[in-house]
Structure formats: C-alpha cells, structure tokens
A and B are shown apart, each in its own frame.
Chain A
Amino acid sequence: LCRNNNNMASQGLDYDGCNLLRQRLVLSTLSGKRVKIKNIRSKDDEPGLRDFEASFIRLLDKVTNGSRIEINQTGTVLFYQPGLLYGGTVEHDCNTQRSIGYYLEALLMLAPFMKNSLKATLRGVTNDLVDPTVDLLKSTALPLMKKFGIDGEGFDLKVVKRGMAPGGGGEVVFTCPVRRTIRPVQLTEPGKIKRIRGVAYSLRVSPQMANRIVESARAVLNQFLPDIYIYTDHMKGANSGKSPGFGLTLVAETLNGSFLSAEMSSTPQGQGDPVLPEDLGRNCAKLLLEEIYRGGCVDSTNQSLALLLMTLGQQDVSKVLLGPLSPYTIEFLRHIRDFFQIMFKIEVQKPPEDERKGGDKVLMTCVGIGYSNINKSLK
C-alpha cells in the first residue's frame, strides 16, 4: 500500500473481519484514507459479505462520488477508496436482514459533511430487535446533533411507513443540511430528568396492544416521575408494512436537554418466543432505568456519534460526560485513533457516596482536529 497513490501522502489502513464494517467505512470516507478489510467471515460456512453489508456499501456508493469499491470473488476481501461525499436526493431499499437503523446510524455521521444537503428515503425494516430503531434515533440522535450546531430547517427524520422484521415495508425520510464546521461542546452536566416520553407502536395487530404496553410501562416509571406521556401509534393499511409486531420506545429528557432512551420490540413473526405486551412494556421501562443508571449526557447508542462529532470539531477542547463505554464505542475510539490520530482523555467520575445518581460516569475530553467540510462548494 506504500506510495502508490500518485505521489500523495495519503496512506491506507488494513483490518480484519466483518465486524465494525460501518465504522471503518464511515471513518474512511470522512478522513479520505482508504481501507482494506480482509478475512471477512473467511472461516465461515458462507464466507464473504452478507446481503445487508452489500446493501450498506451500495448506499455509501450512492451518497459519494468517485468512490472505488473492490470486492474479491468470494467476498472475503473488501477494498474501499473513498470519494467525496455528494449527498442530494437518495433512495435506497435497505436489506431486511438489518433494520433501517443500521444504515441510518452511518448516514447520521456522514450527512453534515456532504456537498449538497441530503434527502435520503430509506425503505425496509424500521423496527427490530438488533439495531437502534428509527424512533430512537429520531428522539435521541437528532437533538444530540443539534448541540453540535447541525441544525436548521431541513434537519428532520420522518417515519412515513412502519415495517417490522422480517417483512419490512417501512419507509423513513431523513433530511440534513450541510455544515462547514462543527461546534465544540461542553456537555458535562446531564441535569435532572424532567419528563419521559415514548411511542408505543403496533402494526397489523390489535390496536389495544399499544395501550397495554403503555399501561405496564407507566406502572414502573410512575414511581419516579409524574410527567410521563407515551403516545400510541397504530399504523394501518399500506403504512403498516408487511409483518405484524409491536414495540415501545422510551425517552427521558433532562433539564439540560440531554436524552436517554430505551426501546424494545416484539420478536419477529415466526422467530423465537412470542412476547406479551405487558412484559414488553415493563422490561422496556426497566431498560430505561438501566440507561438512567448508566447516565451521562449521551445515551449508550449514540456515544460513538457524539465522540465522532467531537473529533471533527474545531481545534478546541470538547468534553462530554458518558455512562460506561459500550464495547462498540471502545472499538470506535480505537478507530478514531487510527483514522484521525486523536486520543481521548478518559476520566472516570465516581458519584459521591450520598448521591443516588446511578453508576460511574466517564468524562471524555478531546481536542478536535479542525475538520472542515471540503465537499461544500464555495460560490
């Protein structure tokens, strides 16, 4: 990989395995460094990239211009030479093996740095058990990005149709304006939780399901706070996708405007044990309590997004208080060091004895690299 790029300094990075593919490709696109990923399920019975990964790569190809993607015959080696982020209007049929959240998480990271503001229509599974659902991202990732100065009229995530796994058939529209620079943040005080909101949705099942979920979730949460409102969202007809199911997303908002969330959805039709809506509501509420126990200014699913935006900020100190780092975030931190040579200062903050505010918190501090959106054209 040495010095074959037309006398330029840019070097490539090598990785192994299919895990963290999104992180690697997203960071590669943002940093302009090419990546080569080898041994993708090479020891597996079905070696190579899965359909959903191929679909993700195709989406990446749609939003960029001039990317070079090479995959070997068996699909075990992927070479990616990033192009420039182009944006514009993009339509993509996401593979139903993973939910739209899988694709959307990457788009959230890329969208502010495109040439034209992005309008992406994604079709597929909106809610499933594996990935953060679109409702969760809408209620937590978007307000988080607003803190970094990514704001404005066209910043929206709209759930047009819902679709549960395995059939899918949902549709979301994500629009995001472009920014030249990202503002540094000091999110050290999460503040106290003032309200809890949520969405209980039910598709192709009795509308009563949603009410049952709400009932049981409230029973758990009412011990802490009176201000709880859980919307019921029962979609009908064409808007309800292809498979039945139901679920709940809960979001706790603090006084300082940070959002902690938890979610749960029913097991896909024909896979695993069926769940009772009461159990689902109760368990989801407990998950929210767990998330609150972890605490921090950013919830556990969006840790990596917050850290990325801090890295890409101006050359100023950014601080954010997180709960315990998730394994995914730890890998993301390592990747950030590989791609941007940025290391975070990680300080563990122990809560005082007399305070009942959950577990240890982690204060992440870094100096941004002074990233400026080179794709945005100057007229």
Chain B
Amino acid sequence: MEPLHQQKHSGPKAERKKLKKQGGSTEEDERKRNPRAFAVQSAVRMAKMFHRSQDIKTKKHHIPLVDRTPVEPPPVVIVVVGPPKVGKSTLIRCLIKNFTRQKLGDVCGPVTIVSGKKRRLTFMECNNDINTMIDLAKVADLVLMLIDASFGFEMETFEFLNICQVHGSPRIMGVLTHLDSFKNNKALRKTKKNLKHRFWTEVYQGAKLFYLSGMVYDEYQSQEVKNLGRFISVMKFRPLVWQTSHPYVLVDRMEDLTDPERLRTDPKCDRTVSLYGYLRGTYLKNKGQVHVPGVGDFQVADVNFLPDPCPLPDAQKKRALNEKERLLYAPMAGVGGVVYDKDAVYIDLPANHVNQQVCALQPTTELVQSLIDAHSTLDAKMAASKVSLFKTVQPLWKDNLHKKASEAFQRQQEAAPNLRKLVYGSVVEADDSEEVEEELGGLFRVSHPQKKKRVIANYVDCSRFNPDTSHNWDLEEMLSSIRDCFVTGKWEEDQDAAALLKEDEKLFGEFEDLETGEVHQGLAEEDAVHDAEDSLVKVDLEEVQKKKRLEKKRRLKERFDAEYDDGDATYFDDLKEEMQKQAEVNRAEFKDEDDETRVQYEGFRPGMYIRLEISSVPCEFVINFDPHYPIIIGGLGSSEGNIGYLQMRLKKHRWYERILKTRDPLILSLGWRRFQTIPLYHIEDHNGRHRLLKYTPQHMHCGASIWGPITPQGTGFLAVQSVAGMKANFRIAATGVILDLDKSVIVMKKLKLIGYPYKIFKNTCFVKGMFNTVLEVAKFEGASVRTVSGVRGQIKKALSAPPGSYRATFEDRLLMSDIVFLRSWYPVSVPQLYNPVTSLLLPVGQKDSWGGMRTLGQLKHDLGIRSKPSMDSLYKPVTRAQRHFNPLHIPKELQKALPFKSKPKQQQCKGKTPRDLQRPSVIREPYERKVAALLHALSTVHNHKRKKAHMVQHGKHKEFLQQKEKQEEAKMRRQKEARKKLYRVMGQMEQKKHRSSLKGAPQDV
C-alpha cells in the first residue's frame, strides 16, 4: 500500500512524529504535561471503568495447570475435512509440496513432514464416513475444514463441527475453495461474507477462514498455499482434557507378525500385529490396556521405542531448513519404504534422502537391535550385581561389635546399588518365572517347588518392620549416631541459627547510631580488609571470596524481593508459581537418564516413535486393511478397561428431527470408543427419584442410563442412531456428558394397578381385579388408592372370596361405576448391551456399512410386521346413554328441621289457570257495540282537542321563557355596566389615596 497523503518532513508535526519515534514522549510525560486531561471527571465513570478492566482481567484467569508438554513434541495432527470433491487431497499435496518440495501421489494414511526447526506436521485426510469423522476429531490438533464456496456448507461440515465440540474442540480453520467459479465479483464478495459469518457462529466470532482463490495446473496458487503454511506453522494449540490425560497413537504403519506357518494352516487365525506411530497425549505404560476404535480392546503385548523416522533438525543457529532436513514420512502412502497394495506389501529402499535411516528394518531386525542395546546394559548390571546379597552373618558378640558395625556398614554400602534389583529383579527379563521349568526328555517337566517363595507366600501379612537386631541402643556410639537428628544436635551450615545470625551481622551490621552519632562498622568491612591482605598471598582465596560475595548478594536480593514483591501476590500467583516449580521438577528429574531406563520409570513419553505389539487381533483387521481409514490406538486409564453402569445427562440434538425412544439401541461415541448400547431415559423428580421416560423430551436435558465402559465423569459423548451409509439429514441424535458411574442403577417406572368395586357400603368398598392372590394384597396393606374422580382411600385387608380382592375405605362413598387405581413405582433394570462398532473389520469399500442391532421399528419395517392395535386403544365415536337420577328423598323429620329456603317446596308453581277458573270472554250485543263505538269516537275527538290545546299552551310557554331570558340578559348587562363604573371609581379613589400617601410621606420628614 502506498501512502495516500504526503508526509511532512518539516514543521511541528514532523518534529512531534520524530520525537515519538525516538520514544521521547510517553504517556507518563503527557500526564505530567497535561494533568487536567487525566484528572477524575466522574467518580462513577471511574468506578465503572475500573470494574470493567477488572472483569476483563478476571475472565482471562484459568485454573493454572502444570505444564506437561514434552520437550520434543510429537508432530501436530492436522485433519483435513470436507465434503467429497472439495479439494482435500489437492490441498494436502500442495502443502506437502510447499514444505518439502516433494510431490506425493495418492494421499493415504498419515503423512508426516518436518515443517520447521521446531515443528513437525502429520496430515490426515478425513473421508465422509461418520466413523472416521468421529475417530479423527478425537486425535486432531488442528482441523482444516474445506468448504466449497460454490455450494456452501454441507451437512457433513456441521456434523464434524458438532463432533469436535463434544470431544473437546481442537483448533478449527476454515478453507474456502472453488472461489474461481464465481464470475461476478459482487456475488463472490457476498458469498464470502455470508459463509464467513455462518462459520463464525459455528466456531467462534473471528475464527480464521482462509480463501483459496483458484487453481493453476490442478494446484492451488503457491503463494496462497505458502500463506496457509505459515499460518499453520505458527499456530498455537490449546491442551484438551481427554487428549492430555490419555496416551494415543495415530498409526502410520502396520505389520503382521503372525507365524506364516500358522497362517497357512489356518488363514482365519487371530493375528499378532505391530503398529507404529508417534506417541501423543501422555505417558504410555508398557503392558497397558488400549482401545483401537473400530476394532476393540486389547492388552498391549509389548512396546518399544524406535529411532525417529522424521526427526527434527539438530539445534543449530540458522534460519531455514536445508534440503536434507525437509523430511517426509508416509509409509502408508508409499514414502518411507513400505507400499501397501490390495494383496501385498512392497518394501522399498529408496536411494533419495527421504527417510534413509529408518524403517526399512523389519521388526525382527529391530528386535535384534534392541537386544544388542540391552546386552550392554545387562553386562553392566551383572558386573554390579556380583556381590552376593546374603552373607552369612556371624553371631553377635559384644567385644567385636565395632567390627560388626563396620561390617554391617560395609554390607549396606555394597548392597546399595542393587536395591533396585532387589525390588524389581532384573528388569529386562522381568516376567520369566516359567523359564525355570526345564523339559526332561521332551515329555515331562521338572517342577522346582520354589521353596523360598512358598514360605513368603504364606507368611503373616503385617506391615511392621522389625528392628535390626545388631543395634544395641544402650551403647553410647549408637546413641551418638543419631544425635544430629534432633534440634539439639549440630545443624547444617546453611540452617544453623548462629551461623545465620553472623551472616546477617555481616550484611546489615553497618549502621550509625543517630543519637550518639557513633558509626558501627559491619563485620564485612573488616573481612574485606583482611581479604585484601590475603589476596596478595593466596589467589585461590579470591575465588572463594567471590563466591561468598555473590552468595551474599543473592541473599540480599532475596530478602529485598521477599519484602517488596510478595506484597500483592495473590493466591492465584502462588498457585501458578507452585505449578511452575512442579513443571521444572518434572523436566529435570529424568533429564540425564538414558531413554532405556527412563522409559521404565515414567513410561514412554509423548513425542517418541513407538512400536506396539498386539496379539490376538481378529484376522479381518489385517485382511481388510484400508490405509484410507485411520487406525488409532487410544490408551485407557486404570479402570477404563472395565464395564459398568453409566449415568449421563443427555439432550436430543436440536437439529435431529425425531425424539429418541427408551430401549432403542443407540450408537455412542464416548472416550475412545464407539459402541452400541441400549439407553434408558429418565428424569429426576423433586424427591430424587429417577422416573423412566418413554421418550426424550423435545428441548430439554434428561438423564440416560447405559451399560457401557467405565469412563471418567465429565467426559462428553455423542449419539447417532446408525453409522451405516449416507443420509441427507443431520445424523447426530444426541449429545451429553457422563455424570456418574456405578455398578447398579435405580430407575423407576410408574405403574398403575387398576381395580373395580363390586360391593359398596357407605365409605367401605370391596375391590376386585387389582391383584391375583391374597399374598399380593398383604404386601400392599395400608397403601393409598384413589379413584379416577379423586376420592382417596386406603387398602385395609384382603378378602378370601374372589382371590386378590380386598376391602378398602374411602373418604366418600364410591359408585359402582368408579375405577380404583393404585400408583406404584417399579424398578427397571438397564439392559446389558455393549456392542463395539467394529467398522475397521469390514471389507474394503464397505467400511461404512456397519449395521449392529436394529431398533424395534426397523425390525418391524424390515420384516413387514404391522402390529395389531388393541381394540380398546382405537378411537371410536363415543355414545353415552342418558343418565337417569332418582328423585331426592328427604325424611319428614328432617324436612321439619330445615329452614324454609332448604325445605322441599310442595306448592305447585303458577302455571296455566285451569279451565274452570278461567273467565269467559264477553261477547257484546249490536247496540252495546254501537254505544261503545260512539264512546270510542267521542273520546278520540276529546283526546285530539286536548292534545291541540296542550300544544298551543306549550308554544306560549316557550315564547314566555324566551322573553324572560332576554330580559334577564339585559338586566345582567346593565348590572355589569354599573359594577364596572363603580369599580373604576373605587380604583381611582384608591389610587388617589395611594398617591397622596406617597406624596405626604416626605413632607412629614
């Protein structure tokens, strides 16, 4: 970028800039120069700012952990993920070419390269089989997530992200490819932005998304690949809990060690294989237990470490790697000596510099080599162990006690180097107790009854350590031999109080008594004077003195630090310091030992290239070996090789369309393992009872109990319903975490027992149909029952007549039509299914077709079974018969006592008047009719007249009112006028009075 404006070369601005460049004006300076600008304006705002900064500070705090990263770390595992045809292999090929200047043909299996002076990388391509995705997410340090920009995100991408989240998120970096398919620049920009934001919501805000714009000769542009490589080689990784607490190996080479003769006679026999790879995670113990995802659990037969096939360059002060140090190691892909074909393995001894020293060796040669190594150490050990342990001890006499004591001392002295051997035996052939048996004539075996061992075996089991009989604590020598163990004894030079005091005197002795003005010279001064004289004579002394001075300085500094630094050290700081110290101790302890012994003490350490031998592996593992599928050896903790009940918190994934049904088999990925199991879902009631659920809740967590491998609490897991084939929908059914482990589990199912009353006396009722025998009823005596309508009751006693019927009392009288039910809880046992997903044993090309146990629904579907619904459960039109109620009968006595309101009313209500009481209508005579008509006419006329007169009268009155109103108005006006006049006069008079009083006042003075 070129600057858009012209830079000033002179004037005050340029000068200020120059000053800034020199570091002349700092913030401190500004504060001094302009104190008002930095003064407190508002205390509230100040407090808020302070709070905010403290919040940010505290958020950054993590519980400090001991730094256990190995000195020479294993290669970083980079997993390249993406939908098919997105350019995964191309990217790996380009990156390898970028780092090592070599072209790789088919990328299969892990490819390890040296990318820099301190970093190695292992690339692994991940196909779209969900098994592979799960396995690789567990070992990845960095995920390169390839996204086809012309298509957008695909379901596999989201699935992989979710898998990563469950198993502890590794670093995730997105890479957009196929950007050259956009013709329109605006559309490209828009797509980039959309994809970026969607990616951010999935990973985290600001996650790195890399753009690979286009292809040149079927390769990505070299500059872009170089940039990507730079990003990778400076990236930092966070430690993940599971990975740092378990050893694991991403296998990059596999050999079948089975005896060829056995293979010939029985091609399906269990195989012995050796697997090679870099150890990662944590220390691996020999003979430990491991899990190979997709194959099963194994006991490791043997572990050796081999020379590193892809070593980091020796420490030299130079910037770049030379051509010889840019190593590439990918035995599965044919680089590094071994080529895997469908039916054969070719071993190739390449002439080029790639991987010269390694791994052309057959396992047998390695064995020999290790034996050669061991021999030299054995010899040394043998030489050291010549001295016999058990010398015959002469009887104790008092006169030669001194001699005895010295002898005993001698003995201990000699026995010392063999202590390790005494405890562990010779470690190289540690467990060959059977070799003692020798064959006699090829038929019988001579058994040597190990007498000494037998005696020890049946000894009294006691932890007491009986004292050495040779010590006589009445003697003065013995007593004096422990004098210094007590505070009253002699102290070491650096701890003796008197010596320390003297030292202090030297350091702080010099002071001036202010009252008397006397100057006290420190001892040091005097010493110094003496030293000056001595130094002329002895040069050696100077060295000593120098050391002493340095020591003195150190002490002074220490004291000063203690006084001034430790003041605001928090608990957090102390903890951090403690961890730091522990890390230093860890590093320093075994640093100087050779690897052979070191491995025995701490196990194989991460970063080593190791070879694991595993026996009794199913033959399909070798026969159906496909280098495109990763083989992972996951080490297991001490109890993780066992099986038991696990309680977990589970939530159905919100993108999974269906809810999960209890007792439907589910495939879980937990720890290293993938396995099928039968979960029971439950939820905790407020009394702590785990109530069985038929289905998982829609949007809520629930508990789940399974029979499965013991895994530490807090480990995350994910569940899928099937791992076979491809599906358009989101496959991850549920996620969760392990809460509790146990050997038994209590999940209760609600059970309602139903009975029907068959005899009712007031509040007592006889119920039948709930139980079958008297004994059953006896068990439930006193249990509370309820009717559907809510009448509560209690079981009293069993009845003999219909077996299983009982007498119960209720708080109200029951009806014959009522149903009585008893709510009870029934413990449900978790089905013991643990079925490891053995996807790696399937034939090549069908590895993603592992079936496992089918759900009931699938079984019915596959077998074409349609369940017949029970007739009671079908919905039918409800026909209800009209209910007829008998009239209420109230006894006469009660009627008398009732108030009138509640008394039954005997009186009939007023209905139609009966015929005899009805009055007959009158029929008029013609004359009477005429009279009536005349009267009617007259009254009509009269009414009309009256109405008219009333109208007139009304009009007149209206007029009168108007008149009156007018007069009133005029009167009001007049009065107002008069009042106005009056007020005016009054006001004038007032004014006059006021004015005269104002005038009159000065006249008075």
- How far apart sit A290 and B472, CA to CA, in the bound complex (Å)? 9
In the complex the two chains form, is B641's CB within 8 Å of A378's CB?
no
Residues A284-314 near B (CB distance < 8 A): 286-287, 289-290, 292-295, 300-301, 303-304, 314
B709 near A: Cβ within 8 Å?
yes
A223 to chain B, nearest CB (A): 7
B285 touching A32 by the CB < 8 A rule?
no
A193-B461 in contact given A6-B834, A345-B601 (Cβ < 8 Å): no
CB atoms of A292 and B638 under 8 A apart: no
Partner pick for A370 among B245, B468, B487, CB 8 A cutoff: B245
Residue numbers in A under 8 Å from B741 (CB-CB): 84, 374-375, 377
Q: Is the CB of B834 within 8 A of A325?
A: no
When each residue 1-43 of chain A gets 1 if its CB lies under 8 Å from chain B and 0 otherwise, what string results? 0110111111100001111111000000011110000011101
User: Shortest CB–CB separation between residue A260 and chain B, in angstroms?
Assistant: 9
Can you name the residue of chain B whose Cβ is closest to the Cβ of A355? Answer: B484
Q: Which of B416, B462, B467, B644 has the most CB of A within 10 A?
A: B462
| Beta-carbon contact of B465 and A18 below 8 Å | no
Q: Do A32 and B479 form a contact, CB below 8 Å, given A130-B460, A346-B423, A348-B416? A: no
B458 in contact with A18 (CB, 8 Å): yes
Chain B, 599-617, contact with A by CB distance < 8 Å: what is the 0/1 string?
A: 0111100000000000010
Q: Is B424 part of the binding interface, using a Cβ–Cβ cutoff of 8 Å?
A: yes
Q: Name the B residues within 8 Å of A370 (CB-CB).
A: 245, 282, 637
Question: Which chain B residues border A158 with CB–CB below 8 Å?
Answer: none
Chain B, range 634-660, C-beta contacts under 8 Å to A: 636-644, 647
Q: Is A317 an interface residue (CB 8 A)?
A: yes
A66 interface hit (Cβ, 8 Å):
yes
A94 at the interface (CB under 8 A from B): no
Chain B's nearest CB lies how many Å from the CB of A44? 7
Does B836 sit within 8 A of A, measured CB to CB?
yes
Contact B739 A379 (CB under 8 A): yes
Q: A17 near B457 (CB under 8 angstroms)? A: yes
Given contacts A131-B463, A290-B467, A358-B485, contact A9 B713 (CB under 8 A): no
Name the segment of A148-156, A269-277, A361-369 touching the other chain: A361-369
Closest chain-B Cβ to A132's Cβ sits at a distance in Å of 6
State the interface size on chain B (CB cutoff 8 A): 91
Once the chains bind, are A315 and B68 in contact (CB under 8 Å)?
Answer: yes
B603–A19 CB distance below 8 A:
no
User: What chain A residues lie within 8 Å of B373 (beta carbons)?
Assistant: none
Q: Are B739 and A372 in contact (CB under 8 A)?
A: no
Query: How many A residues touch B, CB cutoff 8 Å?
Result: 103
CB distance from A88 to the nearest CB of B (A): 13
B297 touches A293 (CB 8 A): no
Contact of A18 among B461, B462, B491 (CB under 8 A): B461
Chain A residue at minimum C-beta to C-beta distance from B480? A356
In the docked arrangement, what's the CA distance between A193 and B483, Å? 10
Please tell me which one of the listed residues B66, B422, B483, B643 contacts residue A8 in the complex, with CB atoms under 8 A apart: B643
B585-599 interface with A by 8 A CB criterion = 585-586, 589-590
Q: Is A184 part of the binding interface, using a Cβ–Cβ cutoff of 8 Å?
A: yes
- Nearest residue (CB) in A for B711 is A374
- B954 on interface, CB distance cutoff 8 Å: no
Chain A hits for B288, CB < 8 A: 341
User: Could you count the A-B residue pairs with CB atoms below 8 Å apart for me: how many are there?
Assistant: 257
B643 pairs with A6, CB closer than 8 A: yes
Partner-binding segment picked from A159-167, A171-179, A240-248, A330-338: A330-338
- Residues A367 and B289 in contact, CB atoms below 8 Å apart: no
Q: Would A293 and B482 be within 8 Å (CB), given that A84-B644, A316-B66 are in contact?
A: yes
Cβ of B419 and Cβ of A19 under 8 Å apart?
no
Q: Are A194 and B638 in contact (CB under 8 A)?
A: no
Complex contact B712–A130 (CB within 8 A): no
Q: A316-B585, A325-B419 are in contact. Are A367 and B283 (CB under 8 A)?
A: yes
**In the complex, are the beta carbons of A316 and B582 less than 8 A apart?**
yes
Looking across the interface, which residue of chain B has its beta carbon closest to that of A31? B638
Q: Is residue A65 within 8 Å, beta carbon to beta carbon, of the partner chain?
A: yes
Q: Is A255 in contact with chain B by the CB < 8 A criterion?
A: yes
Q: Which residues of B contact A44 (CB under 8 A)?
A: 458
- Tell me if A135 is interfacial: C-beta within 8 Å of chain B: no
* Residue with the highest number of chain A CB atoms closer than 10 Å, among B423, B461, B642, B836: B461
In whole angstroms, what is the CA distance A374 to B656 when docked? 31
Q: In the complex, what residues of B have CB within 8 A of residue A224's CB?
A: 479, 482-483, 486, 488
A317–B589 contact, CB under 8 A? yes
The residues of B that contact A340 with a CB separation of less than 8 Å are 285, 638
A328 at interface (Cβ–Cβ under 8 A)?
yes
Minimum Cβ distance to chain B for residue A131 (Å): 6
Residue contact A315 to B282, C-beta cutoff 8 Å: yes
Partner of A367, one of B480, B602, B647, B834: B602
Contacts of A328 in B (CB 8 A): 462-465
Q: Is the CB of B465 within 8 A of A300?
A: yes
B261 to chain A, nearest CB (A): 22
Task: Determine the chain A residues whose CB is within 8 A of the CB of B456 once the complex forms.
Answer: 17, 19
Q: Which residues of B contact A184 (CB under 8 A)?
A: 582
* Shortest beta-carbon distance from B608 to chain A in Å: 15
Taking CB atoms and an 8 Å cut-off, the chain B residues in 243-258 that contact chain A are: 245
Q: In the docked arrangement, what's the CA distance between A317 and B585, Å?
A: 7
Cβ distance B355 to chain A, nearest Cβ, rounded Å:
32
Minimum distance in angstroms from A127 CB to a CB of chain B: 13
Q: CA of A326 to CA of B485 in the docked complex: distance in angstroms?
A: 21
B296 an interface residue at 8 Å Cβ cutoff? yes
A330 touches B422 (CB 8 A): yes
B420, B473, B586 interface centre (most CB from chain A within 10 Å) = B473
Q: A30-B638, A32-B639, A66-B743 are in contact. Are A330 and B462 (CB under 8 A)?
A: no
Would you give the 0/1 interface string for A68-101, flagging 1 where the beta carbon is closer than 8 Å to chain B?
0000000000000001100000000000000000
Check B993 for interface membership: any CB of A closer than 8 A.
Answer: no
Greatest chain B CB density within 10 A among A7, A40, A342, A366 is at A7
Please, which residues of chain A bring their CB within 8 A of the CB of B585? 186, 316-317, 319
Q: With an 8 A cutoff between CB atoms, is B268 at the interface?
A: no
- Please tell me if B490 contacts chain A, counting CB pairs below 8 Å: yes
Please state if B457 and A31 are interface contacts (CB–CB under 8 Å): no
Q: Are A286 and B473 in contact (CB under 8 A)?
A: yes
Q: Across the interface, which residues of A come within 8 angstroms of B458, CB to CB? A: 17-19, 40-41, 43-44
Q: Which residue of B lies closest to A115 (CB)?
A: B742
Check A7 against B639 for contact (C-beta < 8 Å).
no
Residue of A nearest to B427 (CB): A343
Question: Which chain A positions have C-beta within 8 A of B282?
Answer: 315, 370
**Are B743's CB and A65's CB within 8 A?**
yes
Q: Which residue of A lies closest to B585 (CB)?
A: A317
Q: How many angstroms between the C-alpha atoms of A6 and B616 in the bound complex?
A: 15
Contact with A along B809-847 (1 / 0, CB 8 A): 000000000000000000000000010100000000000
Q: Is there an interface contact between B486 and A377, defined as CB atoms closer than 8 Å?
A: no
A192 at the interface (CB under 8 A from B): yes
Docked CA distance A371–B638 (Å) = 8
* A286 cross-chain contacts in B, Cβ below 8 A: 473
Residues in A lying within 8 Å of B, measured CB to CB: 2-3, 5-11, 16-22, 30-33, 39-41, 43-44, 65-67, 83-84, 102, 105, 115, 130-132, 184, 186, 192-194, 220, 223-226, 255, 286-287, 289-290, 292-295, 300-301, 303-304, 314-317, 319, 325-330, 333-334, 337, 339-346, 348, 350, 355-360, 362, 365-367, 369-372, 374-379
8 A-B contacts (beta carbon < 8 Å): A7-B296, A9-B289, A11-B289, A32-B710, A130-B460, A293-B481, A300-B465, A328-B465
Known: A5-B642, A317-B589. 17 other contacts (CB 8 A): A6-B834, A8-B641, A11-B289, A19-B460, A65-B742, A192-B484, A193-B485, A286-B473, A317-B585, A326-B465, A328-B465, A333-B423, A339-B638, A343-B424, A344-B423, A345-B601, A377-B740
Q: Residues of B at under 8 Å CB distance from A?
A: 66, 68, 245, 282-283, 285-291, 296-299, 412-413, 416-417, 419-420, 422-424, 427, 453-454, 456-465, 467-468, 471, 473, 478-491, 582, 585-586, 589-590, 600-603, 616, 636-644, 647, 709-710, 712-714, 737-744, 834, 836
Q: Which 8 A-B pairs have the closest CB atoms?
A: A66-B743, A17-B457, A10-B641, A326-B465, A9-B289, A9-B297, A32-B639, A341-B285
